[in-house]
A and B are shown apart, each in its own frame.
Chain A
Amino acid sequence: MLDGAETYITEDGRTIGGTVMEMRNITLRFGGVTAISDISFDIREGEIRAIIGPNGAGKSSMLNIISGFYTPQEGEVWYRGSKRPQMKPYEIARQGVARTFQNIALFEGMTVLDNVMTGRLTHMHASILSQAIWRGKAEREEIENREKVEEIIDFLEIQSIRKTPVGRLPYGLKKRVELARALAAEPSLLLLDEPMAGMNVEEKEDMSRFILDVNDEFGTTIALIEHDMGVVMDLSDRVVVMDYGRKIGDGTPDEVRSNQDVIDAYLGVSHD
């Protein structure tokens, strides 16, 4: 059951549902450094939720908490209406939360196709034994997985590099392959850590289009981190603004843009 918030329809006709994920009073410390202090926010079904803020604000740490890589000292994570117990990253992945990393984490030695295929691991069920006994079932599963992977490869327009070892790809394409792997899991919540960082203008436009299309066509809920305010304003339905581990703004892009704290934070740091 989804709780609270009412369903509404966006200007461009997408349906935003109830709360999927809710962070309550999250505090995260590394030794003496408080990376996140007492932050609460929610993510609603079907929306694109952005987290923005200057470098070191604690954005990646927040994403790492959602995906289980970090465990906060204080606070609770609520998922689909119930409090989430402490879970390991792989367990959260199996719950349908897929992610990409700020510093790209791909299987460098494997081809693009094989990398994307690993995104299907959570959808593979046939064990060694059943593979030996019911060959048919295992083969059907394999075919289904391959079809899904090809579909995503087409969707992200990376057919031409299917067989290329990932290690040889330029940065921008690696980011796209990482997105492909996350999408292959058919996630219900997709977390993207700076999907456009380090890209040129054209690559950024492509990536923005893909993110919008994923959300629109598959109805995937997306939480994304972006350093650059401009890009985020076009993409997202709602924005959380962080600065020095605190939440200084939360709302629609227009609301956030006119928030004085946010303006100060962004003027206070030099960003190009």
Chain B
Amino acid sequence: MEFLSKVFIDPFVDMVAAPDFLMQVVWEGLVSGVLYALIALGFVLIFRSSRIFNFAQGIMVVFAALTLVGLHEVGVPAWISFALTLGVMFLLAVGIERVVLRPLVGQPDIILFMATIGITLFLIGGGELIFGGENKRMITEELGIPTGSVVLEPFGGLLILEQKDITAVIGAVALVVALLAFLNYTRMGRAVRALGDDHQAALSVGISLQTIWVLVWFIAGIIALVTGIAWGSRAGVSFALEIIALKALPVLMLGGLESITGAIIGGLAIGVLEKLFEIYWGQPLLGGNTEAWFAYVLALVVLLFRPQGLFGEKIIERV
């Protein structure tokens, strides 16, 4: 009886008793969720245009953040480092298309997936060789990102919003909006959407596979850089950053591999739910640290009932 109450009653009583704290928890969850959504979006774009499940997305976050910080360390001004890092991510996209995708076009999906594992290992090795393996500080202030906090008093309580989190959310939302506008209203964007559907058809209407691939990998690179800065500001820059990119996996399981809406809603939902679970159930009942696994369990449970994910096209077996 007492246990049931702890699971089904107490957490909600706590939520209602301290609504300001509940808001704080939801906010923290949203900040993570926005970043999960962004990374998942990078996955979705690459998957839709090339059927490749990009295992390297996580390490790209680390690599982008390390490049940014590394350039600044050797004396390059922060904003120029930012621009140069964008350039590096573009070259990386061109390189991946040339060296990995182009020779492997038409190979089974699993081969391409393995190739992205290859890219991952290459970036880990290259990153460590150039930048070393130790934890670095993100150049948050140098980039002009405010680091103070905003204090609100909802319901006579206290809600503290870190300015760098606010900046991260604004940046991520702006990037998502820009991406959606690009996909829906530009020639290239339409081509990206078309390409995912049928390669032959896409070629026949004049779409260049190579151009689109470079483009989507570059977009994934930009996403990696933005996420790297946002997360690096909170936790420092190290190879551990890759973990947060892996959170995109349950997001994709929830949202479906091909749905842009699914990636966004899935990301936000996982960010918020894992935080709520950790604070109201995980810490009091399970000794905490549930954020490491909660998202995966949630995704698995959803998959039991909807194998195509929440937003994926319904899979109909042809018989």
Contact = CB atoms under 8 A, between A and B. Distances in A.
A28 B203 CA distance: 21
Nearest to A119: B205
Contacts of A94: 206
A110 interface: yes
B190 interface: yes
B190 A105 contact: no
Contacts of A67: 204
B185 A105 contact: no
A93 B187 contact: no
Contacts of A107: 194, 197-198, 201-202
A128 interface: yes
A59 interface: no
B172 to A, nearest CB: 20
Interface in B188-223: 188, 190-191, 193-194, 197-198, 200-209
Interface residues of A, number: 31
A105 B187 CA distance: 20
Nearest to B188: A128
B205 A118 contact: yes
Contacts of B209: 90
Contacts of B182: 128
B313 interface: yes
Given A107-B194, A128-B188, A131-B185, A121 B201 contact: no
A108 B205 contact: no
B203 A121 contact: no
B197 A121 contact: no
Contacts of B313: 109
Interface residues of B, number: 22
A215 B75 CA distance: 66
A105 B206 CA distance: 14
A98 interface: yes
Contacts of A93: 203-206
Contacts of A88: 203, 208
Interface in A68-124: 69, 88-91, 93-94, 98-99, 101, 105-110, 117-119, 121-122, 124
B244 to A, nearest CB: 29
A126 interface: yes
B196 to A, nearest CB: 8
B200 A105 contact: yes
A131 B209 CA distance: 23
Interface in A197-221: none
Contacts of A122: 205-206
B187 A121 contact: yes
A196 interface: no
6 contacts: A67-B204, A69-B203, A93-B205, A105-B200, A121-B194, A181-B201
Interface of B: 182, 185-188, 190-191, 193-194, 197-198, 200-209, 313
Interface of A: 67, 69, 88-91, 93-94, 98-99, 101, 105-110, 117-119, 121-122, 124-128, 131, 181-182, 185
Given A108-B198, A182-B204, 10 more contacts: A89-B203, A89-B204, A93-B203, A93-B204, A110-B194, A110-B197, A122-B205, A124-B187, A131-B185, A185-B206
